[in-house]
Structure 1
Amino acid sequence: MDYIASLRQYVGNAPLIMPCAGCAVLDAQGRLLMQHRADGSDSWGLPGGAMELGESIEQAALRETFEETGVRARPVELLGVYTGPPHTFANGDVVHSVVTVLVAEPLSVSEAFDGGRESMGVGWFQLDRLPTNLFEPNRPMLRDLVEGRRGTWA
């Protein structure tokens, strides 16, 4: 079930508080897995998305990471919990997200990611060479990751 889509039938583009989860997956070389988002923003960000009914935060983070990148991961620590100003997506949907981000390590890589629905592609980036066109809501998370902060909330 797509919980947020079902709510959108009733509220349209109106602001929603949305629990979300994602992963900052770091490989053995210290490279970060990022997705080239297919939401019209032409930006790169961390894999993640809305929690579904019946899921834990960890389950949501791992499911979203696999769906959007084809990478199965294992969480190793909490990066942080993030809130910020409401974000308006290209389709007009407004969300005020509460995002839990886990630092994870890759277990396996497949070509099974969603193939253009949410990701136009994926890439592994050194932390000192991240793309410049970052998904704006991910900037605080990426800043904490690069600066070595863990267990933060904002």
Structure 2
Amino acid sequence: MNYVEYIRGYVKDNPIILNGVSVLIFNEKNKILLQRRTYPKKNWGLPGGLMEMGESMEETGAREVFEETGLEVKELKLMNVYSGKELYMHLPNNHKFYLVNAVYYTKKYKGTLQVDNIEGSELKFFSLNELPEYMVVSHKRFIKDYMELENR
């Protein structure tokens, strides 16, 4: 049983706080990897997900990236931690939570892209100035913040 299922057994559908990770992965052309997500339906977003008990944030990021993309990431660098009412989620299954999300970036990875077909239907590298129109709103913010950080 995963942590979310475990805690939901106690709190049911009441709001909780969950920890998550998103990872910005850049290829040699400085293009960013995005995943066409299952939820929010058909929106593009970053690989990542929720922390399991006993994991570090870096381990969560590496595990989630591997599960969703088939890539093994190395040298994750912490960009920022995001939290607050902007990261409130109300899922179709009526689960509600506030996300505390650590965002990492890396250019170091190995492996071959493999779509998991559970959390996403497509993986693609995009130029930072040609991002898709339909994206997870918070992920757009993370990418924008990264671009500002790189331009300092």
**TM-score, normalised by the number of residues in structure 2:** 0.88
Structure with greater strand percent = 1
Cα separation, 2, equivalents of 1:120 and 1:67 = 13
Displaced runs of 4 or more, over 4 A = none
> Which residue in 2 is equivalent to 1:136?
137
> Which residue in 1 is equivalent to 2:120?
119
Q: Secondary structure at the match of 2:54?
A: coil
Matching of residue 21 in structure 1 with residue 21 in structure 2: yes
Task: Give the aligned CA root-mean-square deviation in angstroms.
Answer: 1.9
Deviates more, 1:9-18 or 1:23-32: 9-18
Letter in structure 1 aligned against 2:134 = N
> Which residue in 1 is equivalent to 2:70?
70
* Equivalences, count: 149
Cα separation, 2, equivalents of 1:43 and 1:89 = 15
Q: Give the drift of 1:117.
A: 1.2
| Unpaired stretches in structure 1, ≥5 consecutive residues | none
Deviates more, 1:69-78 or 1:130-139: 69-78
Cα separation, 1, equivalents of 2:140 and 2:40 = 18
1:29-62 per-position Cα deviation (integer Å, ceiling 9, x unaligned): 0010111111252211111111111111100011
> Which residue in 2 is equivalent to 1:100?
102
Residues 14 and 69 (structure 1), Cα distance of their counterparts in 2 relative to 1, 3 Å cut: same
1:78-124 per-position Cα deviation (integer Å, ceiling 9, x unaligned): 2111113212223322110111111112422335442x211111111
Is 2:23–2:103's contact at 8 Å kept on the other side of the alignment?
A: yes
Letter in structure 1 aligned against 2:96 = V
Q: Secondary structure at the match of 1:10?
A: helix
Cα separation, 2, equivalents of 1:111 and 1:31 = 14
Q: Where in structure 2 are the equivalents of 1:21-60 lying within 5 Å?
A: 21-60=21-60
**TM-score, normalised by the number of residues in structure 1:** 0.87
